[in-house]
Amino acid sequence: AEARAELRRALGDRLPPRAFAVEAALLADRLERREPAIELLVQGLRLHPDDADLLVALEELCAAAGEQTRFVALLLSLLAEQREARSSQPQDAPSLVRMAEKLARAARAVDQPRACLDALDMLPATFADRPELLELRDWAVRGLGGVEEELERLDARILAARNEGGGGDLQLPVARMLRLLGEAGEPCARRLLALAARSEGDELERALSRTALRIAREYAPDQLAVAIDALQATVAIDSIRAVAAWWAGIEHLAVDTGEVGALAVLLRLAIAAEREGQDEYGERADRLTAAALRLEPGSAEVLRLVFERAADRGEPWRAVADRLVAGLDLRGAGLSRFWSGVALIRDALEPDARAELDAALRTQAEASLDDREAFGGLLGLLRSRGCWSLVLDLLLWAGERRVPVTLTVLDELAAQAESAGDHATRQRARMIVAARASEEGDDAGAAEAYADALAAVELLAPEVSASPAGLQLRLGLALARARRPDAALERLLPLLDHSPEQLVELLGEHLREQDLSPAGLARRCGELLREVQQLDRSIALYERVLTLDPDDDDRGASLEALFTLELERGEEAAAAAVAERALQEGPKTEADQLRWLLRLAEHGEGGRRVD
């Protein structure tokens, strides 16, 4: 060892590289002097940087000494010296390349990403782009947290391929992108889709979209959203045939995941393919429709596609809707949600066909009477559409077959119809409430309902409204039964301004329903006037009845009332005159005749009393 040292000192720069390696081995192996051996090899590399054996010897010696980290530091120092010494020369000398590559690998081995990246940056581009070195670069970048910057550089290189007239070779940059993202398929695919969107419809966009779809399915097989996005992008720039290999897997994933939005996208693409003559996609469209509507029967997006497809085929929308209801066995809330979606889409596609749709909803509601949830949901849909008359019809129809609809429900319906401006339904509902209230003995409630029905008259055209006079009659009679004579007279007396013939023409049907004649109405008013102590007006009204209707079957009742009224106001002579009149008209029975004779005898004067 001493001899070799003397030889080295004597020869200086002329000592061959092999001599440095031999002397270092002697020091390290035989004399166990590793530190001098390492220093000797470093000295040799400074003198002979092109010698690969010296570099290998230094690496092995540091490894044997457990000083791999020191090896990295030594190489960094040597590289810096060599680059400075050759600053005016090309930096692609084999020695520099070899040393930088060795440094990069050694730095990876001891987990020093900074040193690894520095070494790679020293390499010329022709060397640094080798796949194994790019893998080292990606590892170092991830370790230093510079992933986004490196990805941006990758993006720029991929987009630059557009200027080369094609899609370029994406295999290597995509592999790097995956490594940088930790083999995460979804972010990689999304980045490729973003690049495709920036490619302005050229061949590169086609290649990027296809690659994004492949990455999404191979590296993120359970991520539906990115697969759908990639599928759409590929079809948009290419064709449905370009995604045929991936379609089945994505369709199954969409069904298993239960994503209605994804199923709708697939349905749209399948329908488009069917229109282009690819009949096999028709079956797929049917499958997707059923799967989507089972998950969300009211999906507007799906139903729009379904009805547009039906229109293309010339198939009536109602037949399609009925087939779906039967095929999917829709019930309960699902059935009502389905028709809500149908209504939304049909109104948008054919806004002038609301009546046809409303009729269909009524038919479906009637068919769903035994399905309370569906029936209630369909009623709610009709309410939301402002079909108050149909709602009232259905409630009454259902009430005839099940439990009768309550007055509270009818009152609420009338109020809702009024708020919506449907005064015809408001009036009809109030009249039904009034009639039901009268049957149940709630005369005050009946009067209130009739009053509201009458108030609606002013807001309705004559051909739509119920008879104002008929409502006035019913209101007056209800007020009378409710012990409100003043209010009743206010409604009933104006009706008596008409002649009996006019009353029959105006109120014939209404009078018959109340079991009244014109004379009977007048008598009822007379009774009310008597209740409010307007005896003179009551007497005058009874006199009018007796004068205008000589054929009145109840003239006896009128005479009885008139006789009593005269007595109540202390006019015995007038009362006797009434008794005389009754006797002259001929009482119907002997008992009536005897009663009137006794009254005349009691209240008459002079000879007539004696007679």
Domain count, the chain: 1
Does residue 300 lie within any of the structural domains?
Answer: no
- The pLDDT, as a whole number, for residue 213 is 96
Does residue 432 lie within any of the structural domains?
Answer: no
How many residues can be counted in the chain?
A: 611
Does residue 199 lie within any of the structural domains?
Answer: yes
Reply yes or no on whether the pLDDT at 153 is more than 80. Answer: yes
Percent of the chain at pLDDT above 90?
48
Reply yes or no on whether the pLDDT at 595 is more than 70. Answer: yes
Long-range contacts, 538-547 (Cβ 8 Å, 24+): 538/565, 539/565, 539/566, 539/569, 541/496, 545/519
- The pLDDT, as a whole number, for residue 123 is 80
Does residue 49 lie within any of the structural domains?
Answer: no
Which structural domain range is residue 228 located in? 155-160+167-295
* Stretch among 22-31, 224-233, 494-503 having the lowest mean pLDDT: 22-31
Q: What is the pTM of this model?
A: 0.72
CA distances, 540 to each of 165, 526, 529, 530, 543 (Å): 111, 9, 10, 11, 5
**CB contact at 8 A, 189 and 218:** no
- The pLDDT, as a whole number, for residue 85 is 67
Does residue 190 lie within any of the structural domains?
Answer: yes
For residue 380, the surrounding DSSP H or E stretch is: helix 372-384
- The pLDDT, as a whole number, for residue 603 is 80
What is the mean pLDDT of the segment spanning 443-462? 94
* Stretch among 149-163, 432-446, 455-469 having the lowest mean pLDDT: 149-163
> Tens of pLDDT along 555-574?
778 888 888 888 888 888 88
The pLDDT mean for the chain works out to 86
Between 195 and 542, the higher pLDDT residue: 195
The residues near 215 (Cβ < 8 Å, ≥ 6 apart) are: 174, 178, 185, 188, 189, 192
What is the mean pLDDT of the segment spanning 409-435? 95
Does residue 227 lie within any of the structural domains?
Answer: yes
Between 595 and 301, the higher pLDDT residue: 301
> Tens of pLDDT along 231-279?
999 999 988 999 999 999 999 999 999 999 999 999 999 999 999 989 8
Does residue 28 lie within any of the structural domains?
Answer: no
- Reduced to 3 DSSP states, what percent helix, strand and coil does the chain have, rounded to the nearest 5? 80, 0, 20
**C-alpha span between 600 and 42 (Å, rounded):** 157
Does residue 143 lie within any of the structural domains?
Answer: no
* Stretch among 50-64, 89-103, 341-355, 459-473 having the lowest mean pLDDT: 89-103
Reply yes or no on whether the pLDDT at 313 is more than 70. Answer: yes
- The pLDDT, as a whole number, for residue 13 is 58
Reply yes or no on whether the pLDDT at 503 is more than 60. Answer: yes
> Tens of pLDDT along 33-54?
777 777 777 777 777 777 777 7
- The pLDDT, as a whole number, for residue 62 is 80
DSSP labels, 10-75: HHGGGS-HHHHHHHHHIIIIIS--HHHHHHHHHHHHHH-TT-HHHHHHHHHHHHHTT-HHHHHHHH
Between 69 and 461, the higher pLDDT residue: 461
- The pLDDT, as a whole number, for residue 437 is 94
* Stretch among 213-217, 300-304, 490-494, 498-502 having the lowest mean pLDDT: 498-502
